C-alpha cells in the first residue's frame, strides 16, 4: 500500500440483504459485489448528506474516489502541489495568480479561468458556506482563458493549501443549479466519473479517459454505502467488496494480516460540550465533566488498542504538535458531585453520538457511566450522523461524542480551529463564543512563517482547551480493509484520498 501521492443507508446486517445491494448497473458496468471487467468494489461508511455536494461533508467522497479536483492538491508532506493549476505566484499579501493546465471536464467542456471563477463564486455564495471559507473572504477574477487572480480581504499565507480542500473542487458549469444545489455527477475533472448516484445507497463510477493526468488502471468503481461496520467487514471477508473503509476495531483482528492495514490518523475523538444553549453554559459543570471524563479508559476497552490517549486536539500523527504544545492554564474550578446534582436538578444531560463509527456508541456508554459518577443524569441519543447533523448545529444537545479529522479541509489546522471553535465558525457545534479563542485563532491565521504558525496554532489549542468546550478522548488509528488482489489503495492519515490512477485489481 502507498501513502498519498496527491493531494450510510441503514445497517446491512444480513448476508442476503447485503448481497441484494449488488446488482448489474444500467450502463453496462457492475455495482458493488460483481467484481468483473477490472472494476473496483468499495464499501464506504457515511452515506451522502447532500447528494455528494462539495459544500457538505460529502466533499471528501469526491477526493477519495478521484472524481473532482481543486486548483491545488496536498502532497504527502502536507504542502500544496499542482492540480488544475500548474503554477501560482503570490503578487502581494492579498493577491495570487494561478496558471491553469489544459484539462477537460467529464462533460466535455474545457477547464477555463471562467469555470474556476464560477466554481469559487458558487462556493462563496452557498447557503451553507464550506468550512474552509469560514475565515476568509475570497474574490476570483479571470485574467485570460488560463489565468485566474485570487484576492483575499486580508492576508492569507496558506491560500494554496486552502484551495486543495475537497470543498473547493472545480466542477463544470452544469453542476451548479439555479436553486443553489450542486451535483458532481458527470461534472468533475478527475480520472473517475460518477455516472449514476442512487440516493444514499450506491454510486457507479466509470473511468474518464479524457483525464489530463493519464488513463486510470481500473475500469471503474462501484460504491456501496454500508453504515454498519460489522457488515462492511463481513462484505470484505465474504468477497463482496474489494475495499472496505473504517473497519471497526472489534472486527479488525478478525481480518487476515494481509487484508488489515492500520493507518496513523489525524482523527481525534472528543466529548464536545455545548457552551451556548445547554446546562454546560455553566463553566463549573464543564469543569466537572473535564475532571471526571477519562479517555484513556477507551483505548483498550473500546478501540482494542487501535488508539492513543489524547494529548490535546492534535495527536501523534500531527508530527509537530507535541514539540509546540502549550500548558493549559486558567481553567474554571470543577463543581463537586453534590454541586452538580444541585445545579442540574430536574435536568438531564442529553448525550449524543452517531452510529457511523461503531466505536462511538460504545464510547458514549463508558462516558455516561463516568458522568453519572460526577452527579449528572444522562440520557443518550444515538442515531446515524445524517439524521442528527442539523440538530447538532442548532445546539439541541448538551454533549456530543465526536470523531473529527483535524487537518481535513486544508492540511492546515487553522481552518479546523476556525470552523469548529471561533464565534462565527460554521461548524461550531460547541457554540463557543470566547474572545481570547477568537484572537488566538486569528493570530495563527495571519502568520505566514510555517514554524511560527504552528506555535500559534498550539497557543490557540491551549485557549480552546481552557474553556472546556471540548474534552479530547483518544487519537484514532484507522483500519482499512483491502483484499489481497487489489494494489495501489492510498493509506491516507488525512482520510481524503483512497484511490487514484494506479489503484487496480492485480
Residue 185 lies in a domain: no
* Residue 317, domain member (yes or no): yes
Residue in the block written with cell 447532500: 50
Q: What is the 3-state secondary structure (H, E, C) of 36-93?
A: CCCEEEEEECCCCCCCCCCCCCCHHHHHHCCCCCCCEEECCCCCEEECCEEEEEEEEC
Residues of the chain below pLDDT 50:
1-35
Could you list the residue range(s) of the whole structural domain that residue 308 is in? 265-476
Residue 487, pLDDT score: 97
Give the model's pLDDT for residue 198: 95
Neighbours of 35 (CB within 10 A): 19
Q: Are residues 162 and 253 in the same domain?
A: no
Torsions phi, psi for 217 (to 5 deg) = -80, -25
CATH number of the CATH domain containing 381: 3.10.105.10
End-of-domain residue from the set 122, 145, 178 = 178
Beta strand segments in 228-309, E? 243-244, 260-273, 307-309
Shared domain check, 440 and 308: yes
Does 305 share its domain with 410? yes
| Cα–Cα distance measured from residue 254 to residue 474, given in angstroms and rounded to the nearest whole number | 23
Q: Is residue 147 part of a domain?
A: yes
* Sole residue written with cell 453554559: 281
> What is the predicted pLDDT for the residue at 403?
95
Residues 58 and 203 in one domain: yes
Shared-domain flag, residues 95 and 125: yes
Where among 149, 178, 207 does a domain terminate?
178
Number of other residues whose CB lies within 10 A of the CB of residue 387 = 10
pTM of structure: 0.75
Asked if the structure places residue 184 within a domain, the reply is no
Helix (H, G, I), strand (E, B) or coil at 260: strand
CATH number, position 164: 3.90.76.10
Question: Could you say which of 178, 207, 237 is where a domain stops?
Answer: 178
Q: Both 427 and 498 in a single domain? A: no
Domain match, 2 and 142 both = no
For residues 224 and 277, membership in a common domain is answered with no
Q: Does 362 reside within a domain?
A: yes
Pair 253, 279 in one domain: no
396 shares a domain with 448: yes
Q: How far apart are CA 65 and CA 498, in angstroms?
A: 6
Q: Tell me, what's the pLDDT at 92?
A: 95
Within a domain: 246 = yes
Predicted pLDDT of residue 143? 98
The DSSP secondary-structure symbol of 194 reads E
Please give the pLDDT value at position 35.
Answer: 47
pLDDT score of 408 = 67
Say how many domains are in the chain.
Answer: 3
* 412 plus 352 within the same structural domain: yes
Helix ranges, 381-447 (H): 385-393, 413-421, 435-445
CATH of residue 500's domain is 3.40.190.10
Chain position carrying cell 473503509: 245
171 within domain boundaries: yes
Looking at the fold, whether 422 and 303 belong to one and the same domain comes out as: yes
Distances (CA, A) of 78 to 71, 170, 419: 15, 21, 20
Amino acid at each position: 500500500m502507498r501513502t498519498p501521492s496527491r493531494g450510510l443507508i441503514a445497517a446491512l446486517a444480513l448476508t442476503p440483504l447485503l448481497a441484494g445491494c449488488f446488482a448489474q448497473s444500467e450502463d453496462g458496468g457492475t455495482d458493488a459485489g460483481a467484481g468483473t471487467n477490472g472494476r473496483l468494489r468499495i464499501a464506504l461508511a457515511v452515506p451522502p448528506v447532500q447528494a455528494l455536494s462539495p459544500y457538505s461533508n460529502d466533499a471528501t467522497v469526491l477526493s477519495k474516489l478521484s472524481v473532482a479536483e481543486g486548483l491545488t492538491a496536498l502532497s504527502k508532506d502536507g504542502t500544496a502541489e499542482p492540480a488544475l493549476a500548474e503554477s501560482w505566484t503570490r503578487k502581494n499579501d492579498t493577491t495570487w495568480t494561478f496558471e491553469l493546465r489544459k484539462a477537460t471536464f467529464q462533460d466535455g467542456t474545457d477547464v477555463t479561468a471562467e469555470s474556476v471563477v464560477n466554481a469559487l463564486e458558487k462556493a462563496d455564495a452557498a447557503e451553507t458556506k464550506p468550512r474552509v471559507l469560514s475565515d476568509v473572504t475570497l474574490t476570483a477574477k479571470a485574467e485570460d482563458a488560463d489565468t485566474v487572480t485570487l484576492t483575499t480581504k486580508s492576508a492569507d499565507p496558506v491560500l494554496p493549501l486552502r484551495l486543495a480542500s475537497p470543498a473547493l473542487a472545480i466542477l463544470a458549469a452544469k453542476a451548479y443549479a439555479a436553486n443553489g444545489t450542486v451535483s458532481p455527477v458527470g461534472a468533475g475533472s478527475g480520472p473517475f466519473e460518477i455516472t449514476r448516484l442512487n440516493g444514499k445507497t450506491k454510486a457507479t463510477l466509470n473511468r474518464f479517459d479524457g483525464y489530463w493526468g493519464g488513463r486510470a488502471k481500473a475500469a471503474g468503481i462501484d460504491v456501496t454505502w454500508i453504515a454498519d461496520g460489522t457488515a462492511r467487514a463481513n462484505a470484505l471477508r465474504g468477497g463482496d467488496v474489494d475495499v472496505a473503509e473504517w473497519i471497526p476495531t472489534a472486527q479488525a483482528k478478525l481480518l487476515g494480516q494481509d487484508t488489515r492495514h492500520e493507518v496513523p490518523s489525524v482523527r481525534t475523538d472528543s466529548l464536545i460540550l455545548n457552551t451556548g444553549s445547554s446546562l454546560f453554559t455553566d463553566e463549573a459543570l464543564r469543569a466537572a465533566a473535564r475532571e471526571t471524563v477519562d479517555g484513556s479508559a477507551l483505548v483498550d476497552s473500546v478501540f482494542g488498542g487501535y488508539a492513543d490517549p489524547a494529548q490535546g486536539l492534535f495527536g501523534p500523527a500531527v508530527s509537530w504538535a507535541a514539540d509546540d504544545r502549550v500548558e493549559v492554564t486558567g481553567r474554571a474550578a470543577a463543581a463537586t458531585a453534590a454541586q452538580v446534582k444541585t445545579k442540574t436538578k430536574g435536568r438531564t444531560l442529553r448525550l449524543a453520538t452517531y452510529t457511523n463509527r461503531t466505536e462511538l456508541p460504545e464510547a458514549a456508554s463508558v462516558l455516561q457511566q463516568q458522568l453519572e459518577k460526577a452527579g449528572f443524569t444522562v440520557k443518550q441519543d444515538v442515531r446515524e450522523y445524517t439524521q442528527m447533523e442539523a440538530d447538532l448545529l442548532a445546539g439541541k444537545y448538551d454533549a456530543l461524542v465526536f470523531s473529527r479529522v483535524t487537518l481535513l479541509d486544508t492540511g492546515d489546522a487553522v481552518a479546523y480551529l476556525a470552523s469548529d471553535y471561533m464565534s462565527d465558525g460554521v461548524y461550531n457545534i460547541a457554540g463557543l463564543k470566547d474572545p481570547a479563542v477568537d484572537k488566538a485563532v486569528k493570530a495563527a491565521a495571519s502568520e505566514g512563517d510555517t514554524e511560527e504558525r504552528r506555535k500559534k496554532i498550539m497557543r490557540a489549542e491551549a485557549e480552546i482547551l481552557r474553556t472546556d468546550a471540548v474534552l479530547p478522548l483518544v487519537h484514532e488509528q484507522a483500519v482499512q480493509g483491502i483484499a489481497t488482489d487489489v494494489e495501489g489503495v492510498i493509506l491516507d492519515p488525512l482520510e481524503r484520498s483512497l484511490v487514484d490512477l494506479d489503484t487496480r485489481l492485480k
